[in-house]
Chain A
Amino acid sequence: MDYVLLIEQFLNGFQLGIILFLMAAGLTLVFGIMDLVNLAHGSMFMIGAFVGGTIAVVTGSFVIGVILMIPAMLIIGIVVEMTTLRTLYPRDHLDHVLATFGLILFFNEATRLIWGPEGLIVPLPAFLDGSVALGAITYPVYRIVIIVVGLLVALGLYILVSRTRIGMLIRAGASNRAMAGALGVNIPLLFSIVFGIGAVLAGLAGLIITPITAAQIGMGEDVLILAFVVIVIGGIGSIRGAFIASIVTGVIDTMGRSFLDVFLLLFLPENAAESAGPALSSMMIYILMAAILFFRPQGLFPPKGAG
């Protein structure tokens, strides 16, 4: 009985980790390869949810929403990169922060104008709604789908970065931008593609979570903070680090939320444990990040040749 709850909470944490990974993968690529601090990554999360969600509601098919969201986000990402971010590369990080923060405000307001302040509820197709029995555990089908999709994306990214020509160019651009450019690599095009991929991944994360949480203006900001924690833990620029750090962060966060108050009850009065539980559990991942920064400032898996 207790181990059932434990496994279920582990799955919950794993699923949160998958969402974080989809966010962090794009963020770490953009930060690690393009050396750009992109706060507007959370806006891509939100735009993906609203655009894909609207397509899903209009066509009546969530799957079509997901499929059409991919080219839409690729285009939006590339347009944002070409119109706004391209001018920022030679500038320092503070300028990146200011400009991309401006983008957040722009996208939030634009979303309010287009979709209104009340957000968007996206229903799931019947075959994904409900739950399925796995041994002693009953688990929502859709959350299993999220886990599977996330693992497939992780595998795809791994193959893309380590086994394909474009992946080789990305790695080359990351380790020495000037040299790669001198050897004839079209760096601006490469950056546009990287940013586009990042936008698609963030959009996918936003859309895939929408049937669970509903699409809201500003929904990306909370996830963005966690994603930054993840890439700091995992090592900036490392997809592998982002994956492992995401899962660790997701599981720790969920386990903390579910068991910390019970644990605190052992040596605190009920009222104190009830209010300290949520507060402490939301701090745990930051404590983890602080510890990692202290012992391994470059993160768990810094990419080779970076630095």
Chain B
Amino acid sequence: MLKKLLGTAAIATLLASPAAADIKIGFVTTLTTPVAVIGKDMRDAVELAMEHIGGKMAGEDVEIVYADDEFNSQKGKQATERLVLRDDVDIVAGYIWSNVLLASAPVVLNADKILISANAGPSPLAGAQCNKNFFNIAWQNDQTPMALGELLNQQGVKSLYLVAPNYAAGQNMVAGVERTFKGKVVGKDMTVWPSQRDWSAELSKVKAAKPDGVFTFYPGPAGPAFIKQYQQAGLEGEVPLYSVYTLDSISLPLFQKAGMETVLGTKMTQFWAPDLDNAANKKFVGDFRKKYGRYPSFYAAQSYDAIMFIKSGVEAVSGDIGNIDGMRAALKKADFDSVRGDFTMGNNHFPIQNFYERTVVKDADGNWTTAVGRAVLTNHQDPYASQCKM
């Protein structure tokens, strides 16, 4: 009897021991190369979210398997293949870069697993190629620049010059601004991505064109470089610079350290801000700052939301992760406390949400951050949703 009992116990230990998480989530982001700083912010947010939920969803243990896309669509696809085929994860999430997501999505979707983008929102996946298993918890690429175009109209900008990188997201950003901006586009330069880091030629053209405003989009470390050159070219103060995803909690401390005061007062638009007033956001930003000693970026906010979003789906099926139909139905409701406040999921599984004006300011302790203004677009759905047959 005792022997049998011991045997059962041994088997039970064996079953439980090799960190046998019940739910495995693959998380693809950039952990090497110069843009790894974004991946680090996302991972920190995921870790914080795991801490907040006690490492459990619907009572089941959760394991996160991080994978590095090396800032390269082919490497990202291979990392995704390893997650799906070797690690056999239940859900794949993450993805900073639109081109990486576009290359990797078929791997996950063909395996009939749920894919959640925590940043990239390329137009094909929102429109004709939308998929029942794909969800975006951030935004569609065009939306934020569309809000910015609207902001430009309100600020009385009549002529605009666009400078952006020549890849999937850069093209979407430019298209987004042009969709809502009512003035005249006097020039447009699409630069080589990601290698071009000197914009002297483009900035000379901006100077010659004398626009009312310049729109730009340079995510990651290219952003500070662009803004510095903008200042050195003597454009700062002459032509206001408007940006999306270029100034964030990752780059602002660098500007602060370098004492580049001209960045203060710069305007941008976004679906979220660190000082957005809701309980979930206060908890997230407060605990993030306590744990890591810095403001979270929007990448972090989206990653945190992605984990909470997955949790809402897992709880709806009581932890039965095999019930993919039930999961999908639950995820469509987006029934969780998002750090951005209330929003709904559109037919194409992209959020319908507000976009706010944000201005770069100093906070009470002298740290550079952004102050959220009013909503420029409310309950906004991306323009590709109508092309999605879902």
Establish whether residues B40 and A117, one from each chain, have CB atoms under 8 Å apart when the complex forms.
Answer: yes
Residue of B nearest to A15 (CB): B200
Judged by a CB distance under 8 angstroms, whether A212 is at the interface is: yes
How far, in whole Å, are A222 and B200 apart by their CA atoms in the complex? 17
**CB-contacts of B143-159 with A (<8 A):** none
Establish whether residues A216 and B34, one from each chain, have CB atoms under 8 Å apart when the complex forms.
Answer: yes
- Closest Cβ of chain A to B374, distance in Å, is 32
Establish whether residues A218 and B224, one from each chain, have CB atoms under 8 Å apart when the complex forms.
Answer: no
What are the residues of chain A within 8 A of B189 when measuring CB–CB? Answer: 261
Establish whether residues B232 and A214, one from each chain, have CB atoms under 8 Å apart when the complex forms.
Answer: no
Residue of A nearest to B37 (CB): A118
Establish whether residues A131 and B190, one from each chain, have CB atoms under 8 Å apart when the complex forms.
Answer: no
Judged by a CB distance under 8 angstroms, whether B15 is at the interface is: no
What are the residues of chain A within 8 A of B224 when measuring CB–CB? Answer: 121, 214
Judged by a CB distance under 8 angstroms, whether A9 is at the interface is: yes
- Closest Cβ of chain A to B175, distance in Å, is 10
Chain B positions 243 through 279: 1 when the CB is less than 8 Å from some CB of chain A, otherwise 0: 0000000100011011110000000000000000000
Residue of A nearest to B174 (CB): A274
What are the residues of chain A within 8 A of B255 when measuring CB–CB? Answer: 121
How far, in whole Å, are A278 and B257 apart by their CA atoms in the complex? 34
How far, in whole Å, are A212 and B134 apart by their CA atoms in the complex? 40
- Closest Cβ of chain A to B79, distance in Å, is 18
Establish whether residues A129 and B205, one from each chain, have CB atoms under 8 Å apart when the complex forms.
Answer: no
Establish whether residues B232 and A212, one from each chain, have CB atoms under 8 Å apart when the complex forms.
Answer: yes
Judged by a CB distance under 8 angstroms, whether B11 is at the interface is: no
What are the residues of chain A within 8 A of B207 when measuring CB–CB? Answer: 8, 138
- Closest Cβ of chain B to A5, distance in Å, is 4
Count class of interface residues, chain B: 35 or more
**CB-contacts of A1-49 with B (<8 A):** 1, 4-5, 8-9, 12-13, 15-16
- Closest Cβ of chain A to B325, distance in Å, is 41
Residue of B nearest to A212 (CB): B229
What are the residues of chain A within 8 A of B182 when measuring CB–CB? Answer: none
Residue of B nearest to A132 (CB): B234
Judged by a CB distance under 8 angstroms, whether B208 is at the interface is: yes
Establish whether residues B192 and A282, one from each chain, have CB atoms under 8 Å apart when the complex forms.
Answer: yes
Judged by a CB distance under 8 angstroms, whether A240 is at the interface is: no
Establish whether residues A214 and B200, one from each chain, have CB atoms under 8 Å apart when the complex forms.
Answer: no
Judged by a CB distance under 8 angstroms, whether B191 is at the interface is: yes
How far, in whole Å, are A117 and B192 apart by their CA atoms in the complex? 22
Given A15-B200, A118-B254, check contact A274 B190 (CB 8 Å).
yes
How far, in whole Å, are A5 and B206 apart by their CA atoms in the complex? 10
* A119 interface neighbour in B34, B231, B260, Cβ under 8 Å: B34
Judged by a CB distance under 8 angstroms, whether A241 is at the interface is: no
Judged by a CB distance under 8 angstroms, whether B221 is at the interface is: yes
How far, in whole Å, are A138 and B190 apart by their CA atoms in the complex? 24
Establish whether residues A123 and B232, one from each chain, have CB atoms under 8 Å apart when the complex forms.
Answer: no
Residue of A nearest to B191 (CB): A278
What are the residues of chain A within 8 A of B37 when measuring CB–CB? Answer: 116-119
Establish whether residues A121 and B234, one from each chain, have CB atoms under 8 Å apart when the complex forms.
Answer: no
**CB-contacts of A271-301 with B (<8 A):** 274-275, 277-279, 282
What are the residues of chain B within 8 A of A275 when measuring CB–CB? Answer: 166, 190
How far, in whole Å, are A196 and B36 apart by their CA atoms in the complex? 32
Given A122-B258, A124-B232, A138-B207, check contact A143 B200 (CB 8 Å).
yes
Closest 6 pairs (CB-CB, A-B): A131-B234, A12-B200, A258-B201, A118-B37, A117-B36, A123-B258
* Extra contacts besides A8-B204, A121-B255, A214-B225 (13): CB < 8 Å: A1-B208, A4-B208, A9-B201, A117-B40, A118-B250, A119-B34, A124-B232, A129-B231, A212-B228, A213-B228, A214-B224, A254-B201, A258-B205
What residues make up the interface of B, taking CB atoms closer than 8 Å to A? 33-34, 36-37, 40, 166, 188-192, 195, 197-198, 200-202, 204-205, 207-208, 221, 224-225, 228-229, 231-234, 250, 254-255, 257-260
* 17 pairs, A vs B, C-beta closer than 8 Å: A5-B208, A8-B208, A13-B201, A15-B200, A117-B36, A121-B224, A121-B255, A123-B259, A123-B260, A129-B231, A140-B234, A143-B200, A209-B198, A213-B228, A216-B197, A216-B221, A222-B197
